[in-house]
């Protein structure tokens, strides 16, 4: 054994350092690109919410007609 013993950083410290290292490699979008993508996501969410609400309404009416 050598006189020097290297102490390993604990799990949390190692995880934090690796996370910061990975975040530095990320290519972040510009502000206009981030806004455009946000609008697209909101639009798709609104359309899907409307479609799912419409399907829920239709199916609930059909089930009501079948059971009544």
Domain that residue 59 falls in: 31-68
Please indicate, yes or no, if residue 16 is contained in any of the structural domains.
no
d(C-alpha 42, C-alpha 38), whole Å: 6
User: How confident is the model at residue 55, as a pLDDT?
Assistant: 98
Is the residue at 10 inside a domain?
A: no
Q: Looking at the domain assignment, is residue 46 inside a domain?
A: yes
pTM: 0.61
- Assess if residue 42 is contained within a domain: yes
Q: Give the pLDDT confidence score for residue 68 in this predicted structure.
A: 82
Position 45 in a domain: yes
pLDDT band at 52 (very low <50, low <70, confident <90, very high): very high
The pLDDT score that the predictor gives to residue 63 is 95
Map tokens 């806004």 to a residue: 35
Instruction: Please state the domain count of the chain.
Output: 1
**Residue closest to 60 by CA, chosen among 52, 4, 49:** 52
- Tens-place pLDDT, residues 25-50: 999 999 999 999 999 999 999 999 99
In this prediction, residue 4 carries a pLDDT of: 63
**51 inside domain:** yes
**Residue 62 maps to a domain:** yes
19 lies in a domain?
no
């Amino acid at each position: 054994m050598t006189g020097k013993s290297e102490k390993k950083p604990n799990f949390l410290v190692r995880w934090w350092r690796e996370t910061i290292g990975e975040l530095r490699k990320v290519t972040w979008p510009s502000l206009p690109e981030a806004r455009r993508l946000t609008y697209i996501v909101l639009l798709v969410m609104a359309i899907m919410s409307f479609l799912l609400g419409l399907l829920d309404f239709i199916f609930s009416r059909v089930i009501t007609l079948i059971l009544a």
